[in-house]
Amino acid sequence: MFEQQRVVVVMPAYEAAKTLERTFREIPQPLVDEVILVDDGSSDDTATLAQALGMFVHIHPANRGYGANQKSCYRIALQRGADIIVMVHPDYQYSPRLIPAMVSMVGSGHYDAVLGSRILGRGALAGGMPRYKYVANRCLTLVENLLVGAKLSEYHTGYRAFSRRLLEAIPLEQNSDDFVFDNQMLVQTLDRGFSIGEISCPTRYFDEASSINFRRSCIYGFGVLGTALLYRLHRMGIIRSQLFRSREAGSELEARQRRDPGSDPGG
């Protein structure tokens, strides 16, 4: 609990039995009210171990994809009364010790979302990120910032915290069930006028940490560029996408915020 706000950690999991307990043990339990794990059709003991550790476990009978896993994570967290939701990968790649800092940034009301950035500081390469992934990350982020009109250090981290009102305001179910879900979600967050903060986060790359292969990385990269370009064309009025607000709704939101700076950007 943080200032009377219920804090829930969600873990989208697939074949995470080897790293799950190490990750879970570093979660600050006095602060976190509940940990929810969604197992996406794993063939190992991920779900059994999570239950033994005391997590709330939801199981997809078959693998549905990383995006579909997150949809279940957020839906269940909201159903169980979460006010602040932190996504932590159970592969021990990101440090759960930063949860208190991320929670305080959201819980204070200063930010609606907080990203654990591998790029701020020297966390990425020092932690073993392959150089081609680092270069791709920087290039994609540059293009996305130009197209979306933001100034984030990266869009591709899997360590994120959100407010309840943000998750209730964006159309998560319309997003991809694959890895590009992460990117679509961030662009929707910016599109709806929510504030995003970042915190420097060390990261670990090792054999047991989950990572997509080169082919899927390329597919993800094209999907990321496609999302940013779609958003730019949508905002220009050239095409219309259900993922984003209409220009009319965006104008109404901006006018309302000028009249009442404290109004809810989620609408």
Q: Is residue 139 part of a domain?
A: no
Predicted local confidence at residue 195, as pLDDT: 96
Predicted local confidence at residue 259, as pLDDT: 46
In angstroms, the CA 231 to CA 229 distance is 5
Look at residues 100, 102, 96 and name the one whose alpha carbon lies nearest to residue 27: 96
Residue 187 belongs to domain with CATH number:
3.90.550.10
Predicted local confidence at residue 169, as pLDDT: 96
Predicted local confidence at residue 131, as pLDDT: 82
pLDDT in tens, 122-138: 666 666 777 878 888 89
Q: Is residue 248 part of a domain?
A: no
Q: How many CA atoms lie within 13 A of 7 on its CB side?
A: 24
Predicted local confidence at residue 247, as pLDDT: 61
In angstroms, the CA 203 to CA 130 distance is 12
Q: Is residue 226 part of a domain?
A: no
pLDDT in tens, 194-252: 999 999 998 877 665 555 677 878 888 899 999 999 999 999 999 999 999 876 554 44
Q: Is residue 136 part of a domain?
A: no
Predicted local confidence at residue 81, as pLDDT: 98
Predicted local confidence at residue 172, as pLDDT: 95
Q: Is residue 145 part of a domain?
A: no
In this structure, what token pair is assigned to residue 131? 């150089």
3-state secondary structure at position 249: helix
Q: Is residue 96 part of a domain?
A: yes
In angstroms, the CA 99 to CA 263 distance is 27
Predicted local confidence at residue 62, as pLDDT: 96
Domain housing 73? 7-128+156-212
| Main-chain phi, psi angles of 78, to 5 degrees | -65, -40
The average pLDDT across 55-63 equals 97
Angle at 29 between CA 88 and CA 202, to 5 degrees: 40
Q: What is the DSSP letter of 203?
A: B
Buried b (16+ CB within 10 A) or exposed e, 98-131: bbbebbbbbbeeebbbbbbbbbeeebbeebebee
Q: Is residue 222 part of a domain?
A: no
3-state secondary structure at position 14: coil
* Residue percentage of the chain with pLDDT more than 90: 75
In angstroms, the CA 185 to CA 68 distance is 12
Q: Is residue 229 part of a domain?
A: no
pLDDT, mean over the chain = 89
Range among 102-106, 155-159, 251-255 with highest mean pLDDT value? 102-106
Number of folded domains that form the chain: 1
Look up the pTM and report it.
0.87
pLDDT in tens, 8-49: 999 999 999 999 999 999 999 899 999 999 999 999 999 999
Predicted local confidence at residue 186, as pLDDT: 97
Q: Report whether 182 contacts 123 (CB < 8 A).
A: no
